[in-house]
Structure 1
């Protein structure tokens, strides 16, 4: 098992389309995650399966005071 950033995955392991298929989402969602510089970690398991997770602050959205 190996955990890397979204940017590292796209540079070394595959395309946005490849990752989207592996995660069961659309390529545009991967593109949006990458462009917005979200804190996405990609875990590549020994069997080749891929999993993604994000760490977000609480509350995730800033409120207007």
Structure 2
């Protein structure tokens, strides 16, 4: 199993279209992930399966304060 940040995976392992096909999503969704700067980690399993996960803090959104 290998893990890569999204940008590194695209630079070394494949194209946006190949990643989109492996994840079952549109290429435009991968492009949007790249442009937005989201912290996406790509996992390539030993059997070749590819998985993507977003790493973000909990809670992801700050609490609203009552005004």
TM range (shorter): 0.7 to 0.9
Q: Which runs of 5+ in 1 are unaligned?
A: none
Q: RMSD of aligned C-alpha atoms?
A: 1.3
The answer for the alignment partner of 1:4 in structure 2 is 4
| 1:17 CA displacement | 0.3
Aligned counterpart, 1:54 = 54
Q: How many residues are matched?
A: 65
Unaligned 5+ runs, structure 2? none
TM-score between both structures, scaled by the size of structure 2: 0.86
Q: CA deviation at 1:59?
A: 3.5
> What is the TM-score with the length of structure 1 in the denominator?
0.88
In structure 1, the partner of 2:38 is: 38
